[in-house]
Amino acid sequence: MAGRGRVSGARVVIALCLLLVSLVGCGARPATDGAKAEVQRLLERRSAALLDHDERAYLRTGARDRFGNLRAVPLADWSYHLTEVRLTGDTATARAELRYRVRGHDRAPVGVGRVLNLSRDTEGHWYVERERPAKGSAEQLWDQGEVSVVSGAHSMVLGVGHSEESLRSYAALADRAVPAVSRVWGADWAGQVVVLVPRSLKAMAGLLGSPASSYRGIAAVTTGETGARERAPADRIIVNPEAYGVLGDAGKQVVLTHEATHVATRADTTAATPLWLSEGYADWVGYLGSGRSPSQAAPELSRAVSEGRMPQALPADADFGFSGAAGELAMAYESGWTACRMIAERWGEVRLLEFYRAVGAHERRAGAVEGALREVLGISTERFTQEWREYLRAQLG
């Protein structure tokens, strides 16, 4: 019995050894510390050449890759933090976090996942063959082509596949949007916006890491870190040129003012802030001075009220999903806008701002709106909802 036990144990050890050999021997293997250090130094040289606009030095580190696409982008920083290097003979796959800052806008680096394919020459030197977004990471604008840059008084517009004249029209609208936002929100924000104008809806979706179907009919979105203050990258306003392009001048201005409001309010927008408030407030600022009547600004909600389909409550976050029916999404936005418009009319614009900040100051979603309604506006949630529904009848019925 004892002998059979020892033989059995030996067989297990042999089997495990064979399994380990097969796992390590097939495909890529983790790089040694030396190889990883060599690749890190290579990426440091490549980053320095990019920042110095030194194309010759850049080419000495490998493929020209995105060098030309980035030529016009005013980069303050650009670096890679290696997380993994896998070797397969004289080739390697590296995973890294790319950290970059756009000069004059990003207070902290933007971090994105990247995958780099490398090869080694006969002298043992590594070179970059290709770079692409890591799985789960969105594309960057320069992944889509050569980036053109236009700077305005309060804006920087970066585009691919658009003329300078077209990009300047975006800058002009953004430059009007920023002061309009500051007049109601105050000057306690960057007072600058970064606008990205990709070539198409599909390219916009690539920048957001989502299917194009999620943004069909959406003119623009703003990305950023909610609740972020001093040490955060600048928000990006990403335009869908297909949906944006069919708007009139007034509609285009409303959209960019709406998105600029998101940039301004980002620090006070937290997990406690419901979408009806953040989107409704952005719409309220966007429509200020537009001259549009409630029925013109809220056609879907106006139709619903006139047909007796009065909403029973303010929309939930799920009602703002881009993949839902267009009419339902419009109803959600219009409901948020009318609620904010009612607060501004009955309690004043200053109270609306205070209400927004009070909601965002709560530690969690539960009780945030209820507490702010009571503390800032002196009204219960039930009474507020009732008054909002009466407001809809008066304004849209």
What are the structure tokens assigned to 388, written together? 């909002």
Which among 282, 271, 388, 274 is positioned nearest to 335, based on CA atoms?
Answer: 388
The 10s digit of each residue's pLDDT in 305-315 is: 999 999 999 99
Please, what is the average pLDDT of the chain? 91
Tell me the range of 2-11, 26-35, 53-62, 313-322 where mean pLDDT is highest. Answer: 53-62
One-letter amino acid of 4: R
80: phi then psi, degrees, rounded to nearest 5 = -120, 140
DSSP string across 202-266: HHHHHHHTS-GGGSTT--EEEE--TT--SSSPPPEEEE-HHHHHTS-HHHHHHHHHHHHHHHHHG
What single-letter amino acid sits at 165? E
> How far does Cα 287 stand from its chain's mean position?
23
Joined together, the tokens standing for residue 177 give: 């949007």
Cβ atoms 246, 229 nearer than 8 A: no
Q: Which residues contact 234 (CB under 8 A, 6 or more apart)?
A: 102, 105, 106, 107, 190, 192, 193, 194, 224, 263
pLDDT tens digits, 130-158: 999 999 999 999 999 999 999 999 999 99
254-280 exposure pattern, b = at least 16 Cβ within 10 A, e = fewer: bbbbbbbbbbbbbbbbbebbbbbbbbb
Whole-number CA gyration radius for the chain: 27
H or E, element range at 130: strand 126-133
Range with lowest mean pLDDT among 7-21, 140-154, 234-248, 348-362? 7-21
Lowest mean pLDDT among 76-80, 88-92, 155-159, 172-176: 88-92
Q: What's the pLDDT score for residue 224?
A: 83
Is the pLDDT at 2 greater than 80? The verdict is no
* Amino acid code (one letter) for 139: E
Nearest Cα to Cα of residue 265 among 332, 337, 361, 175? 361
**Pick from 27-41, 265-279, 285-299: least confident:** 27-41
Mean pLDDT of 211-216: 90
- Angle at Cα 80 formed by Cα 76 and Cα 82, nearest 5°? 165
Q: What is the structure's pLDDT at 214?
A: 87
Q: Which CATH architecture is the domain 140-262 placed in?
A: 2-Layer Sandwich (3.30)
Residue 89 tokens, joined:
């003979």
Q: In what order do the strands lie in the sheet with 29-30?
A: 29-30, 75-88, 91-102, 110-120, 126-133
**Angle, alpha carbons 316-220-366 (nearest 5°):** 25
Q: What residue type is assigned to position 125 of the chain?
A: H
Q: Which pLDDT does position 329 carry in this prediction?
A: 92
Output 321 or 359, whichever has higher pLDDT.
Answer: 359
pLDDT at 116: 98
- Which residue is associated with the tokens 């207070």? 107
| Residue 349 contacts residue 184 (beta carbons within 8 Å) | yes
Cβ–Cβ under 8 Å, residues 322 and 218: yes
- CB 110 within 8 Å of CB 100: yes
**pLDDT at site 22:** 39
The domains of the chain are located at 29-137, 140-262, 270-397
Residue 52: pLDDT over 90: yes
Are residues 50 and 62 in contact, defined by beta-carbon separation less than 8 angstroms? no
Q: CA 10, CA 32: separation in Å to the nearest integer?
A: 31
Q: Is the pTM of this model over 0.85?
A: yes
CATH architecture of 29-137: Roll (3.10)
**344 HSE (CA, 13 A, CB side):** 20
Amino acid at 341: R
Helices 164-185 and 275-287: crossing angle in degrees, nearest 10, is 110
The pLDDT, as a whole number, for residue 231 is 66
Give the pLDDT of residue 37.
95
Share of the chain above pLDDT 70, in %: 91
